[in-house]
Amino acid sequence: MKKNKEEKKEQQEKRRKKKKKKKKGEREKKMKQKKKKKKKRKEKERKKKKEKKKRKKKKRKKKEKKRKKKKERKKKKKKKEKKKKKKKEKKQS
């Protein structure tokens, strides 16, 4: 009887340890998965930021080009008007 009780206790202890080990393993697995997910998310965010920067740069370049064109057109217009004025003055004199 006493032996039986001891055996039962030992088996319970073994089962408890096994359960604990299993739980620990599962917890570690979950943690690993969490870390993986975090890494993936960070990677995604980094990619998004890079893409945004690229887009911004492109936009800036486009704006710069537009501004340059506008400036050129203004310059040409001024030159034309100056020529016209000169012609007019020449005609008058």
> What is the structure's pLDDT at 91?
78
Closest CA to 78 of 67, 89, 70, 90: 70
pLDDT tens, 66-90? Answer: 999 999 999 999 999 998 888 888 8
- pTM of the predicted model, to two decimals? 0.46
State how far the Cα of 54 lies from the Cα of 47, in Å rounded to an integer: 11
pLDDT tens, 10-62? Answer: 999 999 988 888 888 899 999 999 999 999 999 999 999 999 999 999 999 99
Q: Would the pLDDT of 1 be above 70? A: no
State how far the Cα of 29 lies from the Cα of 36, in Å rounded to an integer: 11
